[in-house]
Amino acid sequence: MAARIKVHELRGKTKADLQAQLKEFKSELSLLRVAKVTGGAPNKLSKMCVLDFSLALLFPLVSLPCSRRTETVTWIRGFFPCSKVVRTSIARVLTVISQKQKAALREAYKKKKLLPLDLRPKKTRAIRRRLTKHQLSLKTEREKKREKYFPMRKYAIKA
C-alpha cells in the first residue's frame, strides 16, 4: 500500500478507475484482516496499527498525564501505516463516487421544472413550506378590480 490517497487526485479519475481502485482497497483490507487473525507476515501485521505489549514496554505511558498520553499514542501510531489508512482510502473513494453521481444528477435536472427531493435545498421545514415569490405576488380578481377602479390619488402642491 502506498501513501494516503489524495482526494484531488481521485476527482480527476473516471468512474471505472474509481471502481477499480475501490476494489483494490477492499481486497487489501480483507488481506490485512486475514493477516491479523492468522498472525501473518510481520510487514502485514505492522499495517494493523495495534499498540501491542512490546510498544507499551518501550514507551511507558502510565506515568504521563492523560492529554500527553494520547499525544504519545498518536505519535507512536504515526510510524506504522495501518488498516485505518486503507479504511479512510475506501471512504474517500466512495465519497468521490457519490459526489460525482450527485453532480451529474444536478446537471441533468438543471433545466427541469421539478427536482428530486434529495437534490432540493434542505433549509428548514418552515422555509420549505413558505409560498414561492410568484405565489405571493398573485392577486385575486377582486383585488385587481379594486386597484383598477380606485387607483392611488395623485396630488400636486401649487407653488
Per residue in 14-67, pLDDT (tens digit) is 999 999 999 999 999 998 888 888 876 666 656 555 444 444 444 555 555 555
Q: What is the pLDDT of residue 26?
A: 94
**Going from the N-terminus, what domains does the chain have, and what CATH number goes with each?**
7-51+81-112 (1.10.287)
103 has a pLDDT exceeding 90? yes
Decide: pTM greater than 0.95: no
Question: Around 129, how many Cα atoms within 13 Å sit in the side-chain half-sphere?
Answer: 3
- The helix (H) or strand (E) run that includes residue 54 is helix 53-58
Between 44 and 147, name the one with better pLDDT: 147
DSSP assignment letter at 111: T
- Are the CB atoms for 48 and 36 separated by under 8 Å? yes
C-alpha cell of residue 141: 380578481
CA distance 67 to 87: 26
Q: What is the pLDDT of residue 159?
A: 81
